[in-house]
Structure 1
């Protein structure tokens, strides 16, 4: 067997874990911290520095390949796992996962994932653990096969070597104006996220949000290169439903008004409302999608909250309960399931957005690029962190290097043929 030992190393995520419920309930900001008591279980304060845990697989020739485990920024919200506990995950990895890792053929990626990540005591392993271990296994398979991680995925899922780059989406965090300028100057494909996660940012009847959308479009025309029309993508964290109400016609009316103010641009609205459960979210999002389509609106609905695991994604895709589904990688768990999720979306003619979280690491971001390119997702998140420059560089450069290697491999294959 190719794995002879396992290393664990504590680390940092690239941002913070935040208590979404407390922020949505009106917690005030004091500099970079939030003032008030946390609401979501597991949080000792509203904002907590993100932690991670690296798992290293020591191969028989002493090469070590790594993957990183972590939670998402808004842990414990919308049906997600509770906040990442590195000590708990470390203990579980050592007791349960390590013996499994020493007993698999690491060159067979999907087979290794299935064996190592099977339930323990009739419960699924923590999704963060699945995520990190599946990254390390993918790197191990790539090393042993002398291939890229993307080629491993293509071979396992019987996909052709990709030729098309995947559009990259950047998120602004709270430094909205400065980061929007950075995105425009760098000609980012999809922008700016906006972090519309409070009543203050959304405004009475959504006016503050509407003004921000118009400003982003105007600013793009002002300082963007000629002919540059990025997709405008705004995450409103359910605030259309909270402020406008949960009546579906009213939500659709509001989204259409937003789209009408930026007619030169494609518009994505992420998480327009939270209907309280996965099933309610599916039913109501499907109706909102239908309402927008019947009006001929160019606006697209993106689902995030309450669409976490592969099974959730399957349900949303089959019901066409979104135009675009965020496949939030740490919430999906195994990277093999992220690949399956993209393919599921494609089968059901729903857009596939390989997302994730600002709390991730450079290693998890680079692995996500290979999944996104191999499966030809519709867009992928620039990560980790909440700054534009670092995340766009990490994800963009990894994609460009990967495509250069795939082009070389394709040319070699053609010459052999």
Structure 2
């Protein structure tokens, strides 16, 4: 049931007149990461075994979302989607997001905070949602994420401009003038989908979903062999002058293979082998270990990064586990614990927090990867494309879904459309003295 303000303003700048929450589906599934790491047996697309993480009914279950609809007093409707990461409840993240239970939150306390507010005031409106508490607790990250997207859309509609322009004005940034490099994710179909990426000239690939010892190999040989194969296919199938960057996510599994005890020369030698396998293509390894807490993770990541630098091994390490909130990103950057930090958009809450996290990396030797999850929606992905452009992030994830083509299309096209509109506006300003 929607919540509506009775005395909405008529004429003038539009205000938020009603708030509605519609349960929906997300682009993938929720997976109990702890159960999978503990050996849950894959059964086709499902998993055998009991869930370990609280609130999960099974190891793999259908993803859920909530579409937030904001009706403005000028009759337009702004939208955003509440969504949570595939591995909810793991690595310090908020618990499983169950849509039906959160509809009353959006149409109750959130609506009460927003009704009657000027739609154009994105910064103030998003901050109000970020600060909202229920019984002293912050709203679930998925709620903050989706509502802030709707507020960003509302501001763009009220100002008659793009979401990129709204964010650029809010943060005083100079937006990108070219599309941000898109990072394709393959899912378990890591060979076929990687070949699709190479054929399409995707700049960063393939993610790989190396989330178990079985996939990486007990001695790491399967990952090494895969990278060797990928480099060969990039040479054979890639467009002329194709110069991709390889990025694999290992979900902390290397920490299981190489410890205890941690043998620094053994680990650096293995990373050197991975780098040799990629040939001329740069390599990024995401989430090499999972130490069970932020301080421990930062220490181990910094130790690994220092070890690789001392050994002259040119592999970049990417922070993911225990790097969830804006404060987490800042801590990893301040400690020099990663070459690249994933800004995992649903985990930061409001979408403006993702922008702040990317901008925090400026002037440091840590680059910002605007990520997220396959378990988002088209609406949330499109909003993130604008964050990437407004903050000029180093790379942005192709999402939602695990089929690759669809997510790549969503992100690439949204950025290209936005840049085309910016070019049109710039041309109109140069010829007519202002925006039309």
- TM above 0.5, yes or no, is yes
CA contact (8 A) 2:231 2:279 kept: no
Of the three residues 296, 299, 302, the one matched with 1:286 is 302
Greater mean alpha carbon deviation, residues 405-414 or residues 264-273: 405-414
Q: Does 1:45 align with 2:58?
A: yes
Q: In 2 relative to 1, CA 161–196 (structure 1 residues): closer, same or farther, beyond 3 Å?
A: closer
The number of equivalent residue pairs is 417
Shift in Å, 1:389: 1.0
Of the three residues 363, 367, 370, the one matched with 2:386 is 370
Q: How far apart, CA to CA, are the structure 2 residues paired with 1:282 and 1:394?
A: 33
Q: How far apart, CA to CA, are the structure 2 residues paired with 1:414 and 1:90?
A: 47
Segments of structure 1 that go 5 or more residues without pairing to the other structure are: none
Of the three residues 166, 169, 184, the one matched with 1:170 is 184
Of the three residues 379, 404, 412, the one matched with 2:395 is 379
In the alignment, which residue of structure 1 is the partner of 2:313? 297
In the alignment, which residue of structure 1 is the partner of 2:224? 210
Q: How far apart, CA to CA, are the structure 1 residues paired with 2:269 and 2:428?
A: 54
In the alignment, which residue of structure 1 is the partner of 2:256? 242
In the alignment, which residue of structure 1 is the partner of 2:17? 4
Q: Does 1:133 align with 2:182?
A: no
Of the three residues 65, 69, 89, the one matched with 2:102 is 89
Q: How far apart, CA to CA, are the structure 1 residues paired with 2:271 and 2:153?
A: 42
Q: Secondary structure at the match of 1:275?
A: coil
Q: How far apart, CA to CA, are the structure 2 residues paired with 1:224 and 1:93?
A: 46
- TM-score norm. by structure 1 comes to 0.97
Q: How far apart, CA to CA, are the structure 2 residues paired with 1:111 and 1:413?
A: 29
Q: How far apart, CA to CA, are the structure 2 residues paired with 1:414 and 1:278?
A: 50
In the alignment, which residue of structure 1 is the partner of 2:120? 107
Q: How far apart, CA to CA, are the structure 2 residues paired with 1:414 and 1:323?
A: 40
Q: How far apart, CA to CA, are the structure 1 residues paired with 2:18 and 2:74?
A: 11
Q: Does 1:272 align with 2:288?
A: yes
Alignment of 1:12-411 (within 5 A): 12-120=25-133, 121-245=135-259, 247=262, 249=264, 250-411=266-427
CA contact (8 A) 1:4 1:60 kept: yes
Q: Secondary structure at the match of 1:347?
A: coil
Shift in Å, 1:27: 1.2
Deviation track 1:280-317 (CA, whole Å, cap 9, x = no partner) reads 11122112112222333221000111000000001011
Q: How far apart, CA to CA, are the structure 1 residues paired with 2:421 and 2:365?
A: 29
CA contact (8 A) 1:300 1:324 kept: yes
Deviation track 1:297-355 (CA, whole Å, cap 9, x = no partner) reads 22100011100000000101111110000001000110100000000011323110000
CA contact (8 A) 1:72 1:360 kept: yes
Q: How far apart, CA to CA, are the structure 2 residues paired with 1:161 and 1:383?
A: 21
Q: In 2 relative to 1, CA 248–68 (structure 1 residues): closer, same or farther, beyond 3 Å?
A: farther
CA contact (8 A) 1:248 1:288 kept: no
Q: How far apart, CA to CA, are the structure 1 residues paired with 2:78 and 2:397?
A: 24
CA contact (8 A) 1:232 1:267 kept: yes
Q: How far apart, CA to CA, are the structure 2 residues paired with 1:308 and 1:128?
A: 13
CA contact (8 A) 1:302 1:326 kept: yes
Q: How far apart, CA to CA, are the structure 2 residues paired with 1:50 and 1:107?
A: 32
CA contact (8 A) 2:220 2:257 kept: yes
CA contact (8 A) 1:365 1:383 kept: yes
Q: How far apart, CA to CA, are the structure 1 residues paired with 2:254 and 2:192?
A: 25
Q: In 2 relative to 1, CA 161–413 (structure 1 residues): closer, same or farther, beyond 3 Å?
A: farther
Q: How far apart, CA to CA, are the structure 2 residues paired with 1:376 and 1:161?
A: 6
Greater mean alpha carbon deviation, residues 363-372 or residues 250-259: 250-259
Deviation track 1:210-259 (CA, whole Å, cap 9, x = no partner) reads 11111111111122223212111100011111012151613333212211
Q: How far apart, CA to CA, are the structure 2 residues paired with 1:223 and 1:82?
A: 42
Root-mean-square deviation (Å): 1.3
